[in-house]
Amino acid sequence: MSIAIWIAIALACFVLPATSLTSGGKRHPEYHNLARHAEHVGLPLPDHIARAVATCIRRRQRGMSIGGSAGIVLATIVFIIFFDNDDGAIGAFVLFCAGAGTVFGGAWAIAAYRPSQTIDRPVVARMRSVGLADYLTKGERFGLWAVPAVLIVGVIVGGLLLGRLPEHAAVGNYGLIAGSLSAVALLTWVAALVALRRVLMAPARTETQLELAWADSERAQGLRQVANLSVIVASMALLFWLVSIGVVLTTDGFYRNHPELTWSITGIALIAYLALCLVAAAGPLSSWLSGRRKGYEQRQLWSDGVPV
């Protein structure tokens, strides 16, 4: 497929759904859509703070729209310079840039915002510092911190399995490409840690405690998207190792000439890489499926309830 089709897919899968509430941060959401969003978040939305909440949401979604668009532009420039027109890898690259740009753009919008220092109305500020444990569940945090470990183990397993193949096997550059993707996933994790730290350090001051609770909700969503991005990219890198090993084993009829070696390597690769993906993704998935992540930051930071 052409890059134009992949750009359309990236917009439809990442940028537009993530920013649909405010049309990419271009306008305030309509009240009935905002009320539906409040019901999903689980926070009250009285009329006197509706505009402030809408502004907060619009700010983050504008950052996501800018980041996703910048990611697509970057992917297009790289495609023009480095890729061939028929290169099948461009699709994955466009999707990665769009997804990463959308997520990091939202985090940047939260981290870069500075409340006015000259406001003449009373403000509410948090009296204690916050950490990831206040916004992400234990499973989500475990998945985040497991990323470098599973990537390193994945590279070691892949190198050992490809090393067991005889010299005439069509290994080619698959090991190098898979290792490079693992390095990209590790760099994404490092960038995610920097973004998480910046978001946590961003000041939080509002006129009411309820507005602060809404700011916490937006912050939790931004942090969760960044953490989950690193887990998803790591899982994709691990699965690429599995696919690469499968391609090597099926190229030039290798599996017909070496059936026992093929089955043993296939079995080990399947078990190893699926287990590594499960280690990284099980926590975030269980938090999502069980509903534990919904309202988690409210239970942590507002254990006595959010004042209306």
Q: Could you read off the pLDDT of 191-227 as tens digits, one per residue? A: 999 999 999 988 877 788 888 899 899 999 999 999 9
Check residue 144 and give its pLDDT. 96
* pLDDT tens digits, one per residue of 247-258: 888 877 777 877
In angstroms, the Cα distances linking 77 to 183, 270, 278 are 22, 36, 35
Q: Is residue 125 predicted with pLDDT exceeding 70? A: no
Domain boundary assignment for the chain: 1-113, 132-308
Confidence of residue 62 (pLDDT cuts 50, 70, 90): very high
| Bigger pLDDT: 4 vs 83 | 4
Q: Is residue 159 predicted with pLDDT exceeding 60? A: yes
Q: Where are the beta strands (DSSP E) in the chain?
A: 124-125, 205-206
Q: Is residue 90 predicted with pLDDT exceeding 90? A: no
* pLDDT tens digits, one per residue of 19-49: 888 888 888 888 888 889 988 888 998 988 8
SS3 call for 125: strand
- With the CA atoms of 162, 165, 169 and 174 taken in that order, what torsion angle do they form, in degrees rounded to the nearest 10? 0
56 phi/psi in degrees, rounded to 5:
-65, -45
Check residue 88 and give its pLDDT. 63
Q: Is residue 174 predicted with pLDDT exceeding 90? A: no
How high does pLDDT run on average in the chain?
88
Check residue 238 and give its pLDDT. 95
| Burial 273-305, CB ≥16 within 10 A → b, else e | beebbebbbebbbbbbeeeebeebbbebbbeee
CB 246: neighbour CB atoms within 10 A?
A: 17
Nearest Cα neighbor of 178 from 230, 248, 231, 227 is 248
Does residue 25 contact residue 58 with C-beta atoms inside 8 Å?
yes
Confidence of residue 170 (pLDDT cuts 50, 70, 90): low
d(CA 10, CA 70): 12
Confidence of residue 126 (pLDDT cuts 50, 70, 90): low
Q: How many helices (H) and strands (E) does the chain have?
A: 11, 2
Q: What is the mean pLDDT of residues 261-278?
A: 93
Check residue 129 and give its pLDDT. 74
Q: Is residue 234 predicted with pLDDT exceeding 80? A: yes
Angle between helices 47-82 and 31-41 (to 10 degrees): 90
Exposed/middle/buried for 166, CB within 10 Å: 0-12, 13-18, 19+?
A: exposed
Q: What is the mean pLDDT of residues 297-304?
A: 86
End-to-end CA distance of the chain: 52
Q: Is residue 122 predicted with pLDDT exceeding 60? A: no
Q: Is residue 119 predicted with pLDDT exceeding 60? A: no
CB 112: neighbour CB atoms within 10 A?
A: 12
| Bigger pLDDT: 194 vs 92 | 194
Q: What is the mean pLDDT of residues 227-249?
A: 92
Check residue 78 and give its pLDDT. 87
Check residue 152 and give its pLDDT. 97
